[in-house]
Amino acid sequence: MIYLDNSATTKPYPEVIDSFTQVSEKYYGNPSSIHRTGAEAEKLLLRARQQAAELLNVKEEEIVFTSGGTEGNNTAIKGTALAHQNRGRHIITSQIEHPSVLEACRGLEKLGFSITYLPVNHLGLIDPAAVEAAITEETILISIMHVNNELGTVQPIEEIGNIAKRYPKLHFHVDHVQGFGKVPLSLSDSGIDLCTISGHKIHGLKGTGLLFSKKGTDLFPLMHGGGQEQSIRSGTENLAGIVSLVKAVRLILEEQKKQKKHLLEMKETLWSCLDKMKQVSINSPAGHAPHIINLSVPGYKPEVLIHALSEKGYYISTKSACSSKNEDVSSVLAACGMPESISSSALRISLSYHNQQKEIEGFCKALDEVLHQFSELMG
């Protein structure tokens, strides 16, 4: 099996699984318990938080451990909205955000909040000037993803962060789920107040993640209880998951330093071979995220191609895994102004540092064979 669906989820590092198992066996105490077993668990939790802060170059109290990207995004968006609704009820986002952002915003609309969904150009890029133009006295939050999960478009987060700095009464949230470990993003002095990271996208375990919440950022908690995670996320901490997440963060950042060239070379090989196939249209913008290529084969249902490729041992996907079972048309491609023949036939190939050049070459050959077979069948 050649796995090329790493934007949906990744295979956990063996070290991550080992750390989860060891902590589960040896540190099973509740960190809130006052006996020795609880104290040992609390000590390990504090060390994991310290290590996460060091790796991200932020303060320890700015780390909130979560269950992943969806919870992190909902906490950032709803938490900001509910905490600051007396000051303003306007939020700015884009038309091509992850469903966990878009649906959170739509949910807030039902509560009386006003949402501006900014358009994007044909590359999926947001105009920073449009962001600033949308800001009003009522604006309390800007939420823009760093790397688009379908196209791989990298948004101008630094420019938007500089705009956000000029408006100290609003907060800036970045969904960094697809970019972390592949496309660098500094959180220090960036204008970013909230940033979401998911464990299972970086060879960690499902159900793990973290939210960077800049010191002084006020969030209304979605879950009340014992006051864990600075009272932002109550509930007994998933200590084994947290330790394994920090391990994944460390390992993916090491790979980013050492293997970035390898990732880029694989993408270049893939791009070159796809570009030579007459039936294939490449939708991703050149020069953006090094691990995602979106393509369309007009006239073919994506599911048919995916099943045919899986029969040959290659696994890819259609659009976002969180929306792949919904309507056929990709809302992201549609927002980019692409015709229905393109937006309804989209496929996504997403790489990891663990893929190899020979796997990319094999995939290209397999896709070419599938398209040739289908062309003959269609006459």
**Domains along the chain with CATH numbers:** 2-7+259-377 (3.90.1150.10), 14-251 (3.40.640.10)
Q: Tokens 């066996």 — which residue?
A: 25
Q: Which residues pair with 65 in a beta bridge?
A: 210
Q: What is the mean pLDDT of residues 300-310?
A: 95
Q: What is the mean pLDDT of residues 295-309?
A: 95
Q: What is the DSSP string of 53-94?
A: HHHHTS-GGGEEEESSHHHHHHHHHHHHHHHHTTT--EEEEE
| Other Cβ atoms within 10 Å of 154 Cβ, number | 23
Distance CA 332, CA 294 (A): 11
pLDDT for the residue numbered 376 = 72
Given the residues 273, 322, 336, 364, the one annotated as active site: 322
pLDDT in tens, 30-89: 999 999 999 999 999 999 999 999 999 999 999 999 999 999 999 999 999 999 999 999
pLDDT for the residue numbered 324 = 45
Examine the residue annotation and report whether 105 is marked as an active-site residue of this protein: no
Please say whether the beta carbons of 13 and 247 come within 8 A.
yes
pLDDT value at 331 more than 60: yes
pLDDT for the residue numbered 100 = 98
Distance CA 198, CA 207 (A): 8
pLDDT in tens, 91-148: 999 999 999 999 999 999 999 999 999 999 999 999 999 999 999 999 999 999 999 9
